[in-house]
Amino acid sequence: MLSDFWIRLRSLLRRKTVEAELDDELRFHVDRQIAKHVQAGMPLEEAKRRARIELGGVEQTKEECRDARGVRLVETLWQDVRFGLRMLRKSPGFTVAAVLTLALGIGANTAIFSAVNGILIEPLPYSDSGRLVQIKGKGPRLGGFAAGGLSLREIRAIRDGCPALGQVAAYNLYAGATVLGGSVPDFVTTPQVSGNFFTMLGVRPLLGRPILPTDATPGNDHVAVLDYTMWKSDFGGDLGVIGKTIALWKKPYTVIGVMPSQFRMGLQTPGPRTRALWLPLLPPSGPSAARGNHGYAALARLRPGATLAAANSQLETLSARLAAAYPATDKGWRLSAETAKGALLGRELPRELLILLAAVGLVLLIACVNVSAMLLARSWTRRREVAIREALGATRQRVVWQFLVESLLMSLSGGALGLMLALWLVPLLRAIAPPHTARIDSLRLDANVLWFTLGVSILTGVFFGLAPALEASGGRLGAGLKEGISGLLEGFSARGPQRLRAGLVILEVAVAVVLAIGATLVARSLQKLLAVPLGYRTQHMLTVEPSLMGSACNWRHMELCQEAAGEILRRVKRIAGVESAAMGIDGPYYREYWALVEVATAQGPKDVSRQIGYSAVSPGYFEVMGMPLVAGRNFNAGDTKNSERVTIVSRAFARQYLGPGSPLGRRISMEKDKEGRPEWMVVVGEVGDVWDSAFKEAKGQFYLPATQSEQIGFAPIYFVRTGADPLVIAGAVKQRIWSVDKDAPIGSVATVAHTVSEFRAGPRFRTALLGSFGFLGALLAVVGIFGVISYSVSLRTREIGLRMALGARPSDALGMVIGEGMALAIIGIIIGIVGSLALTRLLRSFLFEIKPNDPATFVGVSLAMGVAALLACYVPARRAMRVDPMTALRHE
C-alpha cells in the first residue's frame, strides 16, 4: 500500500518532525482532558493528575504509536546500519579489501550481463517482436554446399499458402548502389523492401514516413528512406532532408524518411557503421520474377494463436508442393521459419555470451568465498562482542541480522563501485567485441542491468555473510567470555569455523582451476590460430576494392570492365612507393567463388563432387602475395583469350583431386560448353596453399588467368605491395582508380594485416575475456589460501609455541603449516580437474586444434595452481617457523 510506504518513509526520514507531531498530538489531548475536568469543577492540579492517569504512560503510548507506524523494523535497521558502518570503519584494511574484491566481481558481472541483456534478453525493437519470424530457404546440398535465400515467387506462395503467418514482407539481400554528387563517388547498401515491410515491423521513422505499399508500384518507386548513419554523413543530419533528392544509379530518388539509428533490419551487416537506405521493392517482373532467383529474404508475423511449429509444418508442405510443381527450380529447396531474434543472433553468439556469463559468475563466486573466509576469521575474533550482546539479551536472530547488515553494506558498496567499474567496462566491451557482432550497439546500463546489479549485490551479501553470521551467533553463550581460561584450547575449539574455512578454500581453488583451464584452452587455441602459416604475405599489403560500374563499363560490355581494370592496375604499379601490384576477384582469405570441378582421367571426366574455391588473378598475383610456385610456371602475357585455357592449382588441390605424381599437364574443367562437354583447362603450375578466414584447413583451390577469363568484371580487388605503411599510398591508389573511372565508388580500403586480424577478433575477444576472468579467479583463490593459512597460523601461535617447547623443530612447524594448506589446495585442484573435464566440453566449438580435455593444459594449470598455493602457504609458514615458544606461551 502506498500510504504505508510513505508513512514509513516519512517516519524514517523526518524523524524529528514526526516525533514532535506525536508530542503535540498527545499534549493537545491531555490539555483538552484537563480543560474538561476543570469545567466539571475539578481543581486544576487534580484535573492534571487525572488526565495523565487516563492517558496512561505517555512514553508507552508513544512507543506503541511508533510501532503502529511501522517504524520499529526500519529504526532497528537504521541502528544496525550505523553500527555496521562503524564496525567497517574500525577495520578499514579489511573493508577496503573486501569491497574492492566484490566491486571487481560485481562490475565484471554487470558488464557481461549488459551484453547478455542487450543482445539476448531485450526484445527486438519492433512491435510485438516475439511473433516476428524470419523465413529461410535452403537449397539442395551440392558438392558440400547448400545455397540459401528465397525467390519472390516463393514468397508470394508463402503469403497465400501459409495460414499460420499473417503478414509476409519481402526484401532483397544483395543490393547496393552508387551514390554520386558527394565529394567522392560512394557505395551504399540499398535493401529493397516490400510495401508492408515497415508497417509490419511497426517501426516509426525519425523523420518523414516509411515506405508504404503505394511506393512499391512502378512509377512511384523512386523514393528512399535513409538510415541514420547515411542521414548524418551525407546530409549532415539536416532536419529538412525530406523531399530532397539523392542520385542512385544516376537517377534521382526522393528522400521520404529517416530511420532511427537502432533500425538495421534488412541489412546484411548488422553493425552500425555501414551506410544504407531502403528502397521500395517492386512486384516481380523480368529477372526478379525468375523462380531460380533466390536473392530475397522474408520476414513474417505469426498470426495470434499460431505457433512457430505450425508455421514450419505448413512451410514444409508448401516446399513439397512447390518442388512437385516446379522441379527445375524448386526441387530440393526447403522453407523454414525461425524467430527473427534467433535468426539475427545465430547459434554461436548466445552460446558464447552464456559461457562468458557463467565464467564471470564463477569469478564472483570466488570473490564471495574469499570475503566469506575473511568474515569467518573476523567472526571468530568478534565472538566476545557477540557474547556480550547475547548476554545483554540480544536474540540470535538479532545478532545474525546485525552481521548480515554488515555484509550487505559491504556488498552494496561493492555493487555501487562495481557499477562505476561497469560504466567504464561496457564501452570497452563494445569496442573490443568482434566487428559485426549482432546488436552490439544495444549494450548499455539500462534498468534491467541496474536491477541485476542490485540483485546480485544483495545475493552476494547474503551468500558470503550468512555462514559467518550464523557462525558468530553460534549460540555459545558465555564461551567468548571464558576466553581467558580457554586460551590454550583456542586452537582446538577454533576448529569448527576453521573447517568451514577449509571447505571454502577447497571450493575456491576448484572453481579457479575450472576457470583457469577454460581460459588456458581458449588462449592456446588462439596461439595455435596465430601460428598457422597463412601462406601469403600480410605485411605491407594494401587491398582496394572499387566497383567499376560507375561509367567505365556496364553489364552489356564486360570487356570494357576488363580493360578498365587492367588500366588501373598499370597506373597503380607506377605509383611511387608501390613495389608491385596485382588484381584478382577474391582475396586469399575469402572464398566467394566456387565451382563444381571435373578432372580428366584416363577413364574419362571424373566429377570430384565438391564445390571448390577459385579466383581469377592477374599474372603477378602469386609473387605479390608471396605465394610460392611449387612447380610449373606462372601466368603470363601469353595466356590470352586465343591461347589454350590454362589453370594453376594449389598444392592441396593437386594432392586431393589429382592424386600422386605431377599435376602439370593434367586437365580440369569448371564449365561445360553448349553441347555439355567439359571445357578443359590445362594445369600449368602448382602454388602453395593458403588458409581462408574459416581457418579450418587449407582447402584445395585453383586459379584462372584474369586475361583468359571474363570473371574480372566490374569488381576487381587490387593487391598493392608497398615498402612502408600501406595506408600512406591509399589516397594515390584511389586517385588512379578515379583517373580511369571517375564515378567508381571504392568499397573497401584495408591492409591485409588488418583484414586478417579481424578474422581472429572472435578468438581474441574470447581469450581476452576468459583469460582475464581466469587470471582474476586464480589470483583471488591464491589470496584466499594465503588469508586462511595466515589466519590459521595466527590462531595456532600458542599451539605451535607449545609444540616447540615440547621439542618440535622449526621445520616441523613449517611442514605442518604447508601441509595443511597444500592438502586443501590439492583437494581443490582435484575437484577442479573433475569439474573441468565435465565443463570444458562446452568450449569445443570455440577451440582450434586443441581438445577440450587437452592433458598438457590440465597438468600445466594444476601445477601452476599448486605452486601458487605453495607460495601462498610459505609466507605464513615462515612466520610459524619463527614462533618463539617463550613469547607465544607468555602471550596469555
Binding site for another protein (CB under 8 A): 1-4, 7-8, 21, 24-26, 28-29, 31-33, 35-36, 54-57, 60-61, 64-65, 67-70
CA distance 681 to 678: 9
Burial annotation 472-495 (CB, 10 A radius, 16+ → b, else e): bbbebeeebeeeeeeeeebbeebe
C-alpha cell at 878: 615462515
Angle between helices 495-531 and 348-381 (to 10 degrees): 150
In angstroms, rounded to a whole number, what is the distance separating the alpha carbons of residues 437 and 394? Answer: 56
Return the number of the residue (64 or 679) whose C-beta is nearest another protein: 64
Given the complex with another protein, which of 35 and 867 has the nearer CB atom? Answer: 35
Tell the smallest beta-carbon distance from residue 69 to another protein (Å). 5
Closest CA to 465 of 361, 360, 362, 379: 379
By C-beta, is 25 or 710 nearer to another protein? 25
CB-nearer residue toward another protein: 52 or 232: 52
Q: How far is the CB of 61 from another protein (least distance, A)?
A: 5
Q: How far is the CB of 398 from another protein (least distance, A)?
A: 23
By C-beta, is 66 or 291 nearer to another protein? 66
* Residue 70 C-beta: closest distance to another protein, Å: 6
User: Among positive and negative, which fits the CA dihedral 482, 484, 488, 490?
Assistant: positive
Beta carbon of residue 35, minimum distance to another protein (angstroms, whole number): 8
Kindly give, in sequence order, each residue whose CB lies less than 8 Å from that of residue 888, ignoring residues fewer than 6 positions away. 797, 798, 800, 801, 802, 804
From the CB of 393, what's the least distance to another protein, in Å? Answer: 24
Residue 54 Cβ, how far from another protein at the closest point, in Å? 5
- Considering only the C-alpha atoms of the chain, give the largest distance between any 2 of them, rounded to a whole number of Å: 137
55 vs 358 by CB, closer to another protein: 55
Q: What share of the chain is helix, strand, coil (3-state, %, to 5)?
A: 55, 15, 30
Q: What are phi and psi of 257, to 5 degrees?
A: -165, 165
* CB of residue 73 to another protein, shortest distance in Å: 13
582 near 719, Cβ under 8 Å? Answer: yes
Beta bridge partners of 705: 617
**Least separation in angstroms between CB 29 and another protein:** 5
Which is nearest to 729 in space by CA: 869, 558, 575? 575
Looking at the Cβ atoms of 7 and 354, the one nearer to another protein is 7
- Nearest residue to 785 via CA among 735, 743, 829, 848: 829
Nearer to another protein, 68 or 320 (CB): 68
Q: Which C-beta is closer to another protein: that of 63 or that of 725?
A: 63
The residues that bridge with 685 in the sheet, in sequence order, are: 632, 648
DSSP string of 667-725, one letter each residue = EEEEEE-TTS-EEEEEEEEEE-----TT-S----EEEEETTT-S---S--EEEEEESS-
C-alpha cell of 437?
557482432
Contact 509, 825 (CB under 8 A): yes
CB of 72 to another protein, least distance (A): 12
**Cα angle 182, 188, 192; round to 5:** 130
**At closest approach, how far in Å is the CB of 8 from another protein?**
8
Considering beta carbons, is residue 68 or 325 the nearer one to another protein?
Answer: 68
Q: By C-alpha distance, which of 459, 452, 464, 453 is closest to 368?
A: 464
Kindly tell me which of 10 and 232 has the beta carbon lying closer to another protein.
10
